[in-house]
Amino acid sequence: MDVARQHGLSITESQAALLADYCQRVWAWNERLNLTRHTDWNLFVTRDLLDSVRLADHLEPHVRILDVGSGGGVPGIVVAILRPDVSVTVCDSVGKKATALQDIVTGMGLNVTVLGQRVQDILKEQRFGCVTVRAVGAMDKLLPWFQPLWDYGAQALLIKGPRWKEELAEVQRSGKARGRRIERIASWGAPGRDGESVLLRIQ
């Protein structure tokens, strides 16, 4: 975990062991299915882990979250390791990815629910305190999906790259942000990454 400490990330020994296990499993699956571009420890820490830590820092205690378009499990599975108090459901509408996620979760013995469904369908049937999103789509695409959340006061946390201001301007022009409060609550840089990443909260 020296790389994590170099970037100011506080990870316990037990979390480090789980994260190492997770990486080995997702990289093994990656040989059959394109789940991640970050296939070494340094890239995992400076991209996936860093983003997940920043997100985990802003989750309410014991909140029930739905991680949308989880792909290889970032940030959902990583958040489950970092914040065991939080109830995590990960979803991906691509069946093969959902199968990989279930295999990883089962193999690690994590208390994470995996759904192979579209978020639009899930939110019609279940309630969550927070939806988390990273590298899924632009805000003007995502906001209509999340409409059920606003009806009962839940929120969405989006990890976005340097183009977030352009996305925000577009969603405001389109009218899809009407009635929504969108605020930047954190920002951070990473080695080798152009610009900064931000965490947006939408309520």
Name which of 81, 90, 75 is nearest 38 in CA terms: 75
pLDDT digits (tens, 9 = 90+) for 92-117: 999 999 999 999 999 999 999 999 99
Backbone Cα Rg of the chain: 16
Q: What is the mean pLDDT of residues 15-23?
A: 94
Q: What pLDDT score was predicted for residue 128?
A: 98
Query: In the numeric block, which tokens belong to residue 106?
Result: 């089962």
Question: Residues 159-184: pLDDT tens digits?
Answer: 999 899 999 999 999 988 888 999 99
| Dihedral, 149, 150, 152, 154 alpha carbons, nearest 10 | 60
Mean pLDDT, residues 16-36 taken together: 91
Q: Give the tens place of pLDDT for each residue, 54-64.
A: 999 999 999 99
In sequence order, which residues have a C-beta less than 8 Å from that of residue 36 and are 6 or more positions away? 26, 27, 30, 48, 71, 72, 74
Decide: 36 and 71 in contact? Cβ < 8 Å: yes
Mean pLDDT taken over the chain: 92
Domain of residue 181 covers 2-202
Q: DSSP label at 60? A: P
Query: Residue 144 pLDDT more than 60?
Result: yes
Q: What percent of the chain has pLDDT over 90?
A: 74
| Spatial contact of 139 and 168, defined as CB atoms under 8 Å apart | yes
For residue 191, what pLDDT band results from cuts at 50, 70 and 90? confident
**For residue 73, which of 57, 49, 42 has the smallest C-alpha distance?**
49
Q: Are strands 155-160 and 197-202 parallel, antiparallel or unpaired?
A: antiparallel
**52 vs 14, 31, 73, CA distance in Å?**
17, 23, 10
* Residue 29: CATH number of its domain: 3.40.50.150
Contact at 8 Å (CB) between 24 and 72? no
Give the total number of structural domains in the chain: 1
Residue 198 reports pLDDT greater than 70: yes
**pLDDT value, residue 100:** 96
**3-class DSSP assignment, residue 26:** helix
Given a cut of 70, whether residue 186 has pLDDT beyond it is yes
Who contacts 190 (Cβ-Cβ below 8 Å, separation ≥6)?
A: 7, 46, 47, 50, 197
% of the chain with per-residue pLDDT over 70: 95
